Structure 1
Amino acid sequence: MNAPHSNSLTHKSLKGIRVLTLALNLPGPAAVMRLQAMGAKCTKLEPMPMTGMKPADPMGIYKPAAYDVMHQGLKVLQADLKSERGQTSLHKQLAKTDVLITSFRPSALVKLRLTWKELHKRYPSLCVVSIVGAPAERAEEAGHDLTYQADTGLVNGLEMPASLYADMGGSLFTTEAVLQALLLRQRSGHSQGQGVFHQVALSDAAAYLALPRTWGLTLASGDVGGAHAGYKVYPCKNGRVALAALEPHFARRLCEAAGLPQQAAMQMHKRSTHTAIAQFLTTQTRAQLDKLASSKDIPLHTLPR
């Protein structure tokens, strides 16, 4: 199975860059998946698995298919970093690494002798990207994607979020941090390039993705939260339709297709306009709406019930 991004990152701009990752679960591996697609040579050092369990990464246990996608083509090694033998294996890799990615709490990095101060002294040109749950003094707090989303207002009622937004947003922040670190190292003026440290917080990624809600855009009173009749999910004759006729020219085409008077396109927040569009859509099948979208250039996507 190919990674979903495999056709979008074709320039191999990171060819020759060596990345070592110690990060488990989702944010780190998802970031490495993208770095590989950019041409980086990536190696992962996982903990030694428990007896009868393989791999040691929790993702490989509770969702092997996702683990396989993110680790396709990735060189995976195993080592107990708490042992001298494991430390030897780690530093053998670090000696030929441009960027190290970790996802440990700061206290664990101290125990493993992997603080930025120690690593920078030993490997001056090494860049380090540290993934944590929350920044600064909150980095030691226990947390997960769900708690970070909840903290930023992305959890509604008792429903689970549609995706792991903090984790996936964190993976993009991590990729961005790697690129920033490499660019800054290149600009350092040192013959070998001075390594750079970046900390990426999943809570920051969740807060960034939550900005449209913070601004009120996706609240019920917002135009992309349901207040605009052209930007909603409606039932249709044999399914549902995600309608996104937000801009005035799209709204005009929608109202025309629905047989509404011309002024309705200027009254997309009125209850009567919502009702009229809803009634029209209940008479249309998914096939009819798909054809309408194509012929009239109206942004919509039909869905099963």
Structure 2
Amino acid sequence: MKDLPLKNIWVLEFCQYLSGPCATLRLADLGARVIKIERPNKGEAGRKLAIENQWVGEDSLLFHTINRNKDSFAADLNDPKDREWVDKLIAKADVLIHNFRPGTMEKKGLDYASVKKLNRSIIYASISGYGEEGPWKNKPGQDLLIQSLSGLAYTTGNKQDNPVPFGLGLGDYLCGNQAVQGILAALIRKKRTGQGAKLELSLLESAVDFQFELFTTYFQSKRVPIRSSVNNAHTLLSAPYGIYKTADGYLAVAMMPLQRLNRAIDCVALAGFTEAEAFTKRDEIKCVLTHHFKTNTTAHWLERSQPHDLWMAPVMNWDQLRSTQTYRQLQVEQHVALNGGKTLTTTRCPIRMDGTVVHAAKPAPAVGEQTDVIKAELSRK
């Protein structure tokens, strides 16, 4: 698309690893020009954070996944000449975002007060682990630690299981996307009033916000939510909510009245339970369903459920998902062009704009790849 909504918006990214680069990836997808300010030669630390030991050239596959469609400007912030160029960039930028520990940007003279002297209307977004102040401010803001400290790891798995974290950097992605929300809101206000903004986010606050249902319930009941002993999928929901093994796979069963479910699956043992017992005898009911669903295939139970319009679905792996017509129709994959004529398959921006899928084939930059081009742009009068 030629006219994406953030066209001509300049974003300076002083970020590493996941949360900040995840935020600027979405801004870039929506049309912003994102310029990564990186250390000469080495670049940002995320270039060496590998997933499954997969690499694209000298950089990790993970780096390429969340840094496509961006420019890289190499600058030593301790070098006066490089710093002069960075200051020129700040004066031109609409947004600056960083995700370093509190105090790091202050040491470089790039705190909000200093940056505001160069650009009064800049939108300055900072992502920390635990906030700018307080006893945890210097603790490492790493995703697994955030999931553990926030209580999130106690929402997954069954009651008797050890705490189970999500199998991905959930806290980083959540906080990055919330940063995008704040930046977009600040850009709207800036357009209306000319006023900039200082936005502060933390991984811990994002992880707590993600659990708003659980926390709100906990505040009222004064009780920590208890996971089901059997087929836990949501600590606050009654039976039959969960994932059940079938004769040949797994079946996801969402919320529904017990006897409506029973009209579809014809389980004799389930007939003896009332709707009120869906909460009070949650584990007992789930045990009954566990044994019953094992007696036939996933396809059988889905076929039985269709006339009753029940919320049920097969549990798929990615190979199975990609083979479906719906997945192909949604066009969620895109190809990024790499050097040497190679391509990288990744996911696209999930937003459609005016009915059009947003694709961005530009690959992640090499360290300082656009430095000279950007300097030339800044030098023009």
Range 223-232 or range 202-211, more displaced: 223-232
3-state SS of paired residue (1:34): helix
Partner of 2:69: 73
Q: What is the CA distance between 1:93 and its match in structure 2?
A: 2.0
**Alignment of structure 1 residues 1-305 onto 2, 5 Å:** 12-50=4-42, 55-63=43-51, 64-138=60-134, 139-156=137-154, 157=162, 159-188=164-193, 193-214=194-215, 215=217, 219-220=226-227, 224-225=234-235, 228-244=238-254, 246-248=255-257, 251-260=258-267, 264=273, 266=275, 267-269=277-279, 270=281, 273-303=285-315
Is the Cα contact below 8 Å between 2:233 and 2:242 reproduced in 1? Answer: no
Partner of 1:4: none
CA separation in 1, counterparts of 2:113 and 2:190?
Answer: 16
Closer, same or farther: CA 265–77 of 1 in aligned 2, 3 Å = farther
CA separation in 2, counterparts of 1:220 and 1:206?
Answer: 18
3-state SS of paired residue (2:65): helix
Is the Cα contact below 8 Å between 2:251 and 2:312 reproduced in 1? Answer: yes
3-state SS of paired residue (1:225): coil
Closer, same or farther: CA 155–272 of 1 in aligned 2, 3 Å = closer
CA separation in 2, counterparts of 1:19 and 1:176?
Answer: 15
3-state SS of paired residue (2:114): helix
3-state SS of paired residue (2:184): helix
Q: What is the CA distance between 1:218 and its match in structure 2?
A: 6.0
Once the two structures are superposed, residues 85-133 of structure 1 have per-residue CA deviations (whole angstroms, 9 ceiling, x without a partner) of 3312322322321001111233211111111111112211211101111
Range 87-96 or range 171-180, more displaced: 87-96
Q: What is the CA distance between 1:10 and its match in structure 2?
A: 11
The number of aligned residues is: 286
CA separation in 2, counterparts of 1:57 and 1:125?
Answer: 30
3-state SS of paired residue (2:92): coil
CA separation in 2, counterparts of 1:173 and 1:39?
Answer: 18
Range 225-234 or range 21-30, more displaced: 225-234
3-state SS of paired residue (2:190): helix
Q: What is the CA distance between 1:29 and its match in structure 2?
A: 0.9
Is the Cα contact below 8 Å between 1:42 and 1:75 reproduced in 2? Answer: yes
Q: What is the CA distance between 1:304 and its match in structure 2?
A: 6.7
Please, what is the CA RMSD of the aligned residues?
2.9
Q: What is the CA distance between 1:144 and its match in structure 2?
A: 1.5
3-state SS of paired residue (1:268): helix
What TM-score do the two structures reach when normalised by structure 2?
0.67
Once the two structures are superposed, residues 6-30 of structure 1 have per-residue CA deviations (whole angstroms, 9 ceiling, x without a partner) of xxx9993322221111111101111
Is the Cα contact below 8 Å between 2:13 and 2:35 reproduced in 1? Answer: yes
Is the Cα contact below 8 Å between 2:174 and 2:206 reproduced in 1? Answer: yes
Is the Cα contact below 8 Å between 1:225 and 1:232 reproduced in 2? Answer: no
Closer, same or farther: CA 143–27 of 1 in aligned 2, 3 Å = closer
Once the two structures are superposed, residues 155-202 of structure 1 have per-residue CA deviations (whole angstroms, 9 ceiling, x without a partner) of 2435443232221111112101211221222232xxxx1221111111
CA separation in 2, counterparts of 1:241 and 1:27?
Answer: 33
Q: Please tell me the residue identity of whatever aligns with 2:213.
A: P
3-state SS of paired residue (2:15): coil
CA separation in 2, counterparts of 1:183 and 1:94?
Answer: 19
Q: What is the CA distance between 1:134 and its match in structure 2?
A: 1.3
Is the Cα contact below 8 Å between 2:25 and 2:69 reproduced in 1? Answer: no
Is the Cα contact below 8 Å between 1:165 and 1:209 reproduced in 2? Answer: no
3-state SS of paired residue (2:12): strand
Once the two structures are superposed, residues 226-281 of structure 1 have per-residue CA deviations (whole angstroms, 9 ceiling, x without a partner) of 8622101222112222221x143xx4442211214767462434355333322221
3-state SS of paired residue (1:213): helix
Is the Cα contact below 8 Å between 1:177 and 1:200 reproduced in 2? Answer: no
| Structure 1: unaligned runs, 5 residues or longer | 1-8
CA separation in 2, counterparts of 1:278 and 1:142?
Answer: 41
CA separation in 2, counterparts of 1:165 and 1:61?
Answer: 16
3-state SS of paired residue (1:276): helix
